[in-house]
Structure 1
Amino acid sequence: MSPVTAVTIWHLEQPSASVLPGEPVPAPAGLDLAVVRAEAIGPEFARFLYTAVGGVWNWTDRLGWSHADWEKWLAVEGTETWVAWVGGSPAGYVQLAPHDEGVVEVVYFGLLPAFIGRGLGGHLLDLGLRRAWDLAERHPALPATRKVIVETCSLDGPAALRNYHARGFALARTETVDKLVGEAPGPWPGSGFSLG
């Protein structure tokens, strides 16, 4: 049985695109990098990204989702997945989801373990936030973005909160919840993969 752990969750808000740096964060030198919107993403690839990135950080909330659950969620107008590719391999992703009244959430953001620490995270997050702010340009049925939100927690990577603050996010609220936390599941159940 997994132990119950107190997990701190930080709910963050970016109130305006003007808090982003005037110039985009440059891509790290020396990487054959492309960040592309996965316009025809299916449940299989979405779940792969979720487990490959989040398995190290105890992302478990969607492990029980069925194919139909993923399909339904991905079909929501304005839901977008931007994937970083390095040398032809997926390196990380940013997933955006619209809410009511012009609120856009960064639902997931992260890198596959092999790409952590190579200077890619700041560039990918910056690009994803810029796409959150211009979401209505690609989805005219949506209202213009008026706020971008994200949450991170004490189980996420040690640079996560700092990375969001560096992009102009402000703390909206903090909460602590009890969560069953065992060994990080890694990219697949039972892999026991960790960054340590």
Structure 2
Amino acid sequence: MRLVERFSIKSKESIIRFLNSIPSGTLGSIDENGFPQLIPMNFVYANDAIYMHSHHVGEKIDNIRRNNKVGFEAHKHVEFLPSYFFDPEDACSADTLYISVVVKGLASLVEDLEEKADALNSLMEKYQKEGYYKRLSKDMSSVKHVTVIKIKPITMTGKYKLGQQWSREYRRYIASKILERGSSTARESVALMGFDPYTLEYIHEPSF
């Protein structure tokens, strides 16, 4: 099914920025019986590829060696919108604000030690931003013994739904209802919708 144009993320840079803001994604490979296997993974997008570290044995490793066509997805649940925001008598009116990216690509197990070290350093930069570690190098035994999975994307598609389909005033109304409901993510969600979460003053069109 084609993405609805107004919901698609058109910029590759925005997709990459979103991927590297998300703590985990899901790797999809095909098992020996032809069924998809889905595994949550830490990951980083660097040098036009997705990298993940892994134990050197396991079903996903076997799957990749057998069939290197894989899928990968990452998403952010922004806010659930209860049905009574829209219609108090119709539960089907409930909606969700979200951002998601889906990748189809070819997976491989990285053998080059320099590429391995670069990938692992990129992972550390993403997850341990405060530092306090020695950068990894190709000569370290830990680099030699860890398995690094690489996905070279063939297609990357992104989709976001932050109320951009509504008029500004209706979006402000929904934002006010989100703040009134008071979820733990309410203020962040309202900001993504383009409003100051304290004053509901318009700042920009919905973005992430």
TM-score by structure 2 length?
0.23
* Greater relative contact order (Cα < 8 A, sep 6+): 1
TM-score by structure 1 length?
0.24
